[in-house]
Structure 1
Amino acid sequence: MIEELFPDSVVAVESYGDDGADQAPLHPGEEAVVARSVDKRRREFTAVRTCARRAMEKLGVPPQPVLPGERGAPRWPDGLLGSMTHCDGYRAAALVRATDLASLGIDAEPHGPLPDGVLRSVALPDEQERLALLATRLPAVHWDRLLFSAKESVYKAWFPLTGMWLGFEEADIEIHPDHGTEPSGRFRARLLVPGPVVGARRLGHFDGRWIVRQGLVTTAVTVHHA
């Protein structure tokens, strides 16, 4: 599913279920990270890294550990960029060679409404107005959850380029549905703070894609080289 949101240069691996049957062993450094974690956290950590190592293999890179770095962002092998996500019953990793993209970000969420009060804390007033309009056109989509997921993907693409925090209120996202048989489309995140410099240009926005399928909403952002 998530590979449909990326250009061909990106390799994505995803898996479903939570029984752990398809999980590869952790490397010693990874094992140390979750040595005292509860079982659920350990399963999620292991499963998403299994996806990451399978993606490495598809790129012709020997499988290597993926340790958390600053703010928990994954540290990828030299020459690779990537992003990971997991939620109940789903996990995915997307990788690309650093020569092909400047950055990327992915997120998956259960396709249901956000808890009460959360939308007001993550959405700008203009975003809330646009979501209300979208809800009149396609009421089957939980647009609040989609916006939240898009902002998560934007942050995951932003942080490797800047090493800085990006608040929910620092990107204004406009969502555009396609006209296909299932809910999908694109979005643009207008950065409300100075964007990262990629090559010789300072970015003013990030572009992404989204899809709703199998009870999930998934979003992806790609940042191209100048």
Structure 2
Amino acid sequence: MLDDLLPAGFHASQTRGDVAGVVLFDEERAAVEGAVAGRRAEFATGRHCARQALRRLGASPVPLPVGEDRAPVWPDRVLGSLTHCTGFRAAAVGWAGGEVLGIGIDAEPDRPLPAEVIEHVLRTDERLGTGAHDRLVFSAKEAVFKAWWPLERRWLDFHEARVTVEQGGVFAVDVLADRTVACRYEGRWGAAGGVLFTLVTAVRA
């Protein structure tokens, strides 16, 4: 499903559950040293998906350490994003230098958000009172932030992005914060097997 959302030239890898026996580079192991077993497995599977996607892109498998901002450090000239939720892990990558300046993917369990989360992350004009819609808007904002952060390197509050779900598996994104990079944010979404997927690309203006 995720592959269907990607722009041309981008590749993804996804898996249900964790992959056993993933060999991590030293820099990667250091990032989860001391973490609980579940977190280590989740992290390793994410790196496995990333390397599978990089291989499809034609890039060499390299360490993907965690940066000071806790985001993965992608190889030079590669745009990438990771996501995970219960029972699902995925990565998407593409070459930098084209019309796409950034990418963000998010996966969420396809079920309603708790009421306290809705109040925190959704603007008043985004609340339709339906569980599926609320979860979709939340996931879209998570994907927006992942595309935004490598370009702007500053926090984007949930209320600084307005998401409007449209027909045909797309959503519009209106970033209300000041920015330094001239681009527009475009969104696509889908759902399969109890998982909701969102993709956001920052496209050259």
1:117 alignment counterpart: 116
1:35 alignment counterpart: 33
Deviation string 1:95-115 (CA, Å, 9 cap, x unpaired) is: 000023210000000001112
1:214 matched to 2:193? The reply is yes
Counterpart Cα distance in 1 of 2:65 and 2:92? 16
Counterpart Cα distance in 2 of 1:196 and 1:5? 27
* Cα-Cα RMSD: 1.4
Query: Out of 107, 122, 143, which is 1:153 matched to?
Result: 143
Query: Tell me, what secondary structure is at the counterpart of 2:51?
Result: helix
The offset of 1:171, in angstroms, is 0.7
Q: Any conservation in 1 of the 2:185–2:203 contact (CA below 8 Å)?
A: no
Task: Give the partner amino acid of 1:143.
Answer: H
Counterpart Cα distance in 2 of 1:193 and 1:116? 25
Query: Out of 174, 179, 200, which is 1:195 matched to?
Result: 179
The offset of 1:4, in angstroms, is 0.8
The offset of 1:79, in angstroms, is 1.0
Corresponding pairs, count: 204
**Who wins on radius of gyration, i.e. which is larger?**
1
Q: Any conservation in 1 of the 2:101–2:202 contact (CA below 8 Å)?
A: yes
Query: Out of 33, 45, 64, which is 2:43 matched to?
Result: 45
The offset of 1:191, in angstroms, is 1.0
1:143 alignment counterpart: 133
Runs ≥4 residues deviating over 3 A? none
2:4 alignment counterpart: 4
Unmatched 5+ stretches in structure 2:
none
Unmatched 5+ stretches in structure 1:
136-140, 179-184
Normalization by structure 2: what TM-score? 0.94
Counterpart Cα distance in 2 of 1:187 and 1:31? 37
